[in-house]
Structure 1
Amino acid sequence: MDLLDSMKVYVLAVEKGSLSAAATACGISATMAGNHLRTLEKRLGMQLLSRTTRRQHLTPFGEDYYQRCKEILRLVAETDEQAQKLQLAPAGKLRVTAPVSFGTEALMPALSDYLERYPQVSVDLVLSDRVLDLLEEGFEAAIRIGPVPDSALIARPLAPYRLMICASPAYLARRGTPARPDELSQHECLAFSPSAAAHWRLADQEHICRVPVSGRLQVNQGQALRVAALQGMGIVLQPAILLEGDVRAGRLVQLFPNHQLATRPMSILYLPDRYRSLKLRSFVDFVVERFKH
């Protein structure tokens, strides 16, 4: 017989005053209720109820066992209820990786809304400009900038990553403001390392040009390049989300606003077998909705 079922019969027998009343409450026969009680007593090697033709009495051990059974059944019921809730609402820890600039400037503010919407989910966000392996490093989702490699990962497209070219007013006052993209080759251009590009690509309504650029400073972090530009150290090409606040405040000046810079595709990626997880599904759908393609 199932141990929990026997405990339920025993608790009801104590609370209702008889095995027959417990049998009625459980929808079983009085004989079956008696079998449950005998199974418990045999398992424990102790008598739980002292029965006469008129009434039943709890033995001292039976009183203690009754309290323990009530606690066990309460914990089981609470656990079942919690499991049902987890099946209906996203819950648990979600491990995500994203590029540093996008994660800091765009994803982090959005996470406030996500966590408020799903209070049972916690997020472990790792910001890195390295391409991290989801499976080997234990991530459930990754936001990537650039073409999606042909792999086993599922990719959902997000809005393209826009770039801006900016410089500080002090730099432009000292070195002059380039009027045409090809004049960038005469300026200090701040480079993102280790993948510093030898050319910056711009386009207007008629032409596409690849401008050779060079400079004496290379930095491996976008926020540091922004600070270098604010200090007048050169012209910077970085994501719009990193620079547009400085442009609005007048700390930086956008160059070539009528030219279109090559945008970079951006996606959220995840392993296909993980998408059954409600927490992952909720996060992917939230990111796609917030950063629409």
Structure 2
Amino acid sequence: MKKYSLAIVGCGKLAHIVADAINNGLLEDYKLIGAYSRTREKAIAIAEKVNPETCAVCGSMDELLALKADYIVETASPASLKEFAFDALKRGSNIVTLSIGAFTDKDFYEKVQVVAREHNSKIYLASGAIGGFDVLRTAALMGNCTATFDTEKGPNSLKGTSVYEDTLQTEKKQVFKGDAIEAINLFPTRVNVAVAASLASVGPEKMKVSMTSTPGFVGDDHRIEIKNDQVHAVIDVYSSTAQIAGWSVVNVLRNITSPIVF
């Protein structure tokens, strides 16, 4: 049976889910050949978990790209994706990414499509902490469509952002309202899911996004609503941790090689 070579960029908790899936036989069509992280110890941990003899711990992005893996899993950041995407696609590597916020950059989005087509490679957008891409895309294709994305978070998850204030610990408050582009600019790593939903439907400029902070709330609750003349769909996903995002990458990788695709 053919084994597809796999490399990982960004070796945090979500990458460990992919590594565990390999070890547990859920990704039997793949062989991990490389790992790269800005913190080298994290890449070493991934390699040691899977197979240190066959998984190279790469000291730079160029070193990882030189492996020419069939698939590169990216769980780092939108900036990281934009840094290596073109070179990877030109080398024939496909990318599975969670950093969908990068695609609010129109120039990047358009150029990625051109480069991927020219080199017969693809970028797969993992659903992360949401779902329902199929119904979102279907409803949008039907035309005359509107969509909203509302998310609820705990105040501690907003620390380090410009919207955080101590009063959020005791007061429920809507901390953001705007479109998906404005949202990802304000929260570069926290609303990739909103961008994903917008790309699957009405586009980042038309996706209306709101974020509410609730004292004591744990996890994330994302609610997507899409409407056209014939369809009204609501997708509401609560997750207590970010693990669902890592498992969505595992699902994409399984779909890529499966004879039946969900």
TM-score, length of structure 2 as denominator length: 0.31
More helix by share: 1
Return the index of the structure with the highest Cα Rg: 1
TM-score, length of structure 1 as denominator length: 0.29
